[in-house]
Amino acid sequence: MEIKYNLTDQPKSGDKLSYNIFKKRKKIYSDIVKFTSLKYQNTGVFAENILRMVFDAINLNHFQKNHPYVDIAIVNPIEGLTKKSEIISVKSSINYSRTSTLLTSSKAIKIESLFSYVLFAHFGYDLDFTENYYTPKKLLNKAINLVKDGIEDVQNGENIIPNNYDYEQIVNVVIYYLMFKNNKESEEFFDDDIIRVMLDDDTNLKYGTYEQYFDQVMERLNRLQTPISLGVSYMLNKDSLGKDDENLICVIEKTNTISLKDFWQRLLSVWCNNEYFGTGVTKYLNFKDISKVYDIKDGKFPIKIEIETNGYGLEDIKSHSNKTKEEKEILRRKKTARKTQKLYMATKFKDADFGDDEKAIVNTFGKIIDVLEDNPKLYTKFQNFVTDLKK
């Protein structure tokens, strides 16, 4: 599926994506220009912003700052493109050559992402590891070190390293503890459980058998029903910035969704087959492996969206360039003041406690914003109406 949009176009009837783009075109244009202007380092912020606005999503990093793998979540799905509660990991590049290179160079997937998706969904998108005893990295390293060190034969004073230990089982024990036994009290039992699994004595674990651990994790993943996808963003003809015939093109490519359970099992299987565990070096998946996880066929993402600026905003750029230094400074201060006020109001709304009526009030404010965004002049009419009532 390939779709093209111009920021200068009106929204298409029945096309929710074109409506999202039209409604947010001013901010999308601003982020496209900023994304294009990046020369040395890509923070990923502008690409995430563009996808968030295009898909009418929320940025999950607002829940957990600087979360490295889960970026945006879909609130209002678009048929054929996104699903309800879908989590999209966003990767981007300021020096695009091809998508496979982008994903490889951006180090798209490493083992931490395996845990991030699962735990983020398990804890309701509000995960704060400071509230838990274990972090994934800490517990996984603990398990890997147990494997490396082998098992001490107390009688003979030797270390016994099993030849065919199953890393898949070991990782499933790790995720079980992270999800269900993440507390100091369980720490002393973790080591013994890992050792029993290594020795293939997995029927006498602390909280049951290995199969019971596995079933509990899989049951939870099935219940979460969280769709997972991967999105990439990059700019075409970025060197055209500043020319009178400017037509910047922002490209979004996206995989279809896979279930959280499939993501877990596929990624874990790839890691085990490639023998990435216990190497002592951080490993990232190559494009071939990424394609296996996300079911990418023929090296091409199934969804491709191109957003062209098509001259949108040029008049504003020309007008701004003709202003004096003092005039530009005044405009900058006004813009900063507006952003500060909006951020203050958003924070005030977020922190407000509406009690049992919170859901209804939030929905009402959402509708008010949608209506006023479509027709801001309604506010003036309403104010005039209220004034007339007071006379």
pLDDT of residue 210: 92
Q: Is the pLDDT score of 28 beyond 90? A: yes
User: Higher-confidence residue: 190 or 200?
Assistant: 190
pTM for the whole structure: 0.77
**Token pair of 62 as six digits:** 């607002």
pLDDT in tens, 191-219: 889 888 888 878 889 999 999 999 999 99
User: Higher-confidence residue: 65 or 116?
Assistant: 116
Dihedral Cα 267, 287, 4, 41, nearest 10 deg: 100
Cβ atoms of 273 and 285 within 8 Å: the answer is no
pLDDT of residue 319: 58
The mean pLDDT value of the chain amounts to: 79
Across 20-34, average pLDDT: 92
Residue 77 banded pLDDT, cuts 50, 70, 90: very high
Range with the poorest average pLDDT among 3-17, 23-37, 318-332: 318-332
The structural domains of the chain, with segments of one domain joined by +, span 2-110+228-312, 129-223, 316-390
Instruction: Provide the percentage of residues in the chain whose pLDDT is more than 70.
Output: 78
**Token pair of 15 as six digits:** 């096309």
What single string gives the DSSP state of each residue in 294-343?
HT-BTTB-SEEEEEE-TTTTHHHHHHHHTS-HHHHHHHHHHHHHHHHHHH
pLDDT in tens, 114-140: 676 777 677 665 544 445 677 777 888
Residue 109 banded pLDDT, cuts 50, 70, 90: low
pLDDT of residue 127: 43
User: Higher-confidence residue: 86 or 148?
Assistant: 86
Q: Tell me the backbone φ, ψ of residue 319, rounded to 5 degrees.
A: -65, -40
**Token pair of 278 as six digits:** 């216990």
What single string gives the DSSP state of each residue in 100-164?
HHHHHHTT--BHHHHHHHHHHHHTTT---GGGSS--HHHHHHHHHHHHHH-EEETTTTEEE--SS
Across 278-296, average pLDDT: 76
